Structure 1
Amino acid sequence: RPEFALYALRRAQAIRAIEKEHGTRVITMIHRQEKRSLFGFAVPQHIDLEDAQTVIAAIKETPDDIPIDFIIHTPGGLVLAAMQIARAVEAHPAKVTVYVPVYAMSGGTLIALAADEIILGEFSVLGPIDPQILGFPAASIVRARDAKPVAEVCDFTLVLADVSEKAVAQVKEGAVELLTPRLEQAKAETIAEKLAGGHWTHDYALTAGEASALGLPVKVGMPLQLMEF
């Protein structure tokens, strides 16, 4: 569609301008409903394995001495794909700065944990990284199981709780892995517990102030040209 082609052209021009100004490689992961449609209905986009393949390739193609500006706009997605991308971010030798013009929820926040610096706008938000099982918060499934004697809990709930415990533990371990290059182990574990332990609803908007108070390397000051991404 013509309007999308024009938007893509403007974005490409903005990327080239940012790379020239910052001396960086710009990589984007932007999920918008209008990007794809099915029979006229918007199809929501999320972090998936295709994103992982594309972003990892872009990171690996970037010379070791070139910093990366990684622009993220996403509601989240697959933990597997998010962790793959985050590990690639962590492995890049030069500085990686994650820019969040509006929001990087769930898996988007998980990726941001691997960055050397996170730049947010005045009203940009991150979010909890607690895993979801069949649409329910994993931590809440575990709490529901533990609220009753085991004999009163159905087998299906017991199975879900078992999977949920593993999912929460895995995400916490992943977060600690991403944070420990820059933070002490104890501090990383505290942040991982807060973000993955089910302390908020999954759509909780984590502000720059809250993220900074947790100990994340957050700064407020989004370049105006990035707000159009």
Structure 2
Amino acid sequence: MDVFSLFWLVLILFSLWPVMQQQRIQRARLAWLRRVQRRTGGRVITLIHRQEGTGLLALLGRRFITIEDSEKVLRAIRATPPEVPIDLILHTPGGLVLAAEQIAHALRRHPARVRVMVPHYAMSGGTLIALAADEIWMDENAVLGPVDPQLGNYPAASLLRAVARKGPEKVDDQTLILADLAGKAVHQVAETVAELVAHQLPPERVRPVARALSEGRWTHDFPITCDMLREMGFRVHCELPDEVYQLMELYPQPDARRPSVQYVPQPEPLPQGARD
């Protein structure tokens, strides 16, 4: 084999390696799903958005909740018998409100127990999905987030406050139109949240919690912890089965030239005579 042929062979192998790695990881994920479903007797669905390499060149891309996601999750829920419980493993920065609402309503309508598990975070639309569950299980350091709607680069609630502070006569027509849309968006999301949480909270807590989560009380990336959710009245477990963490290991982040985080998985014993 000449040098030119060897070069092309190496190039082809180098191009195919990411695809082979993706297939290996995908097989491991499916094996995890089958193993856990056999143990629990329920349906396990994963909605996990991490930065992953795709395609022959392993191009990186960030992922969010999309219509395609909602279609797949809705098909999985529809294929689940009414008496079979659902466990949804959720890790997402959020995404399209319409898609998140579709998933949330479908989970809420499922007759059997629905449990959402959050290993790290489920923000914005992810929080909307989590609120539809009968039980929320989270790592003790995991967080949810507010679900206040965003219009372009601006929080809807901030648009409303800006117009109210300046007065409608002192803002331009485009801002007034945005404020009108913002008012509708805040009302719609608050109604959706109230509908989703009504099964978990006492009636007198439903509207205050829905307003707190949707009215722009906090910034959109504000972390809502287990303790805060408990204070609101939700049934939250601040613990997760080890299997969930094993699953997250099957969603590796792309390797960087200089890793930013490193650690030894198991602490090494101190040598004899050593002191802390």
TM-score in terms of structure 2 length = 0.79
Partner of 1:25: 43
Pair member with larger Rg: 2
1:4 CA displacement: 2.2
1:157-196 pair list within 5 angstroms: 157-196=175-214
Partner of 1:66: 84
Structure 2 portions without partners, runs of 5+: 1-18, 249-276
1:186 CA displacement: 2.8
1:27-66 pair list within 5 angstroms: 27-34=45-52, 36=54, 41-66=59-84
TM-score in terms of structure 1 length = 0.94
1:42 CA displacement: 2.5
The one-letter code matched in structure 1 to 2:188 is Q
1:215 CA displacement: 1.5
The one-letter code matched in structure 1 to 2:72 is T
The one-letter code matched in structure 2 to 1:224 is D
Partner of 1:97: 115
Alpha-carbon spacing, 1:14–1:40, altered in 2? closer, same or farther (3 Å): closer
RMSD across aligned positions (CA): 1.7
Partner of 2:27: 9
1:190 CA displacement: 1.2
Residue 146 (structure 1) aligned with residue 128 (structure 2): no
Residue 134 (structure 1) aligned with residue 152 (structure 2): yes
Alpha-carbon spacing, 1:202–1:35, altered in 2? closer, same or farther (3 Å): farther
Alpha-carbon spacing, 1:146–1:118, altered in 2? closer, same or farther (3 Å): same
The one-letter code matched in structure 2 to 1:19 is Q
Tell whether the 8 Å contact from 2:146 to 2:222 is kept in structure 1 after alignment: yes
The one-letter code matched in structure 1 to 2:163 is R
1:39 CA displacement: 7.6
Q: CA–CA distance in 1 between the matches of 2:20 and 2:233?
A: 44
Alpha-carbon spacing, 1:38–1:107, altered in 2? closer, same or farther (3 Å): farther
Identity of aligned residues (%): 45
Partner of 1:212: 230
1:45 CA displacement: 1.2
Q: CA–CA distance in 2 between the matches of 1:88 and 1:15?
A: 21
1:35 CA displacement: 5.2
Alpha-carbon spacing, 1:216–1:37, altered in 2? closer, same or farther (3 Å): farther
Structure 1 portions without partners, runs of 5+: none
Q: CA–CA distance in 2 between the matches of 1:218 and 1:35?
A: 34
Alpha-carbon spacing, 1:38–1:171, altered in 2? closer, same or farther (3 Å): farther
Question: How many residues are paired up?
Answer: 229
The one-letter code matched in structure 2 to 1:18 is V
Q: Identify which of 129, 135, 145 aligns with 1:117.
A: 135
Tell me the SS of whatever aligns to 1:10: helix
Alpha-carbon spacing, 1:37–1:138, altered in 2? closer, same or farther (3 Å): farther
1:36 CA displacement: 4.1
Q: CA–CA distance in 1 between the matches of 2:58 and 2:28?
A: 25
1:149 CA displacement: 2.2
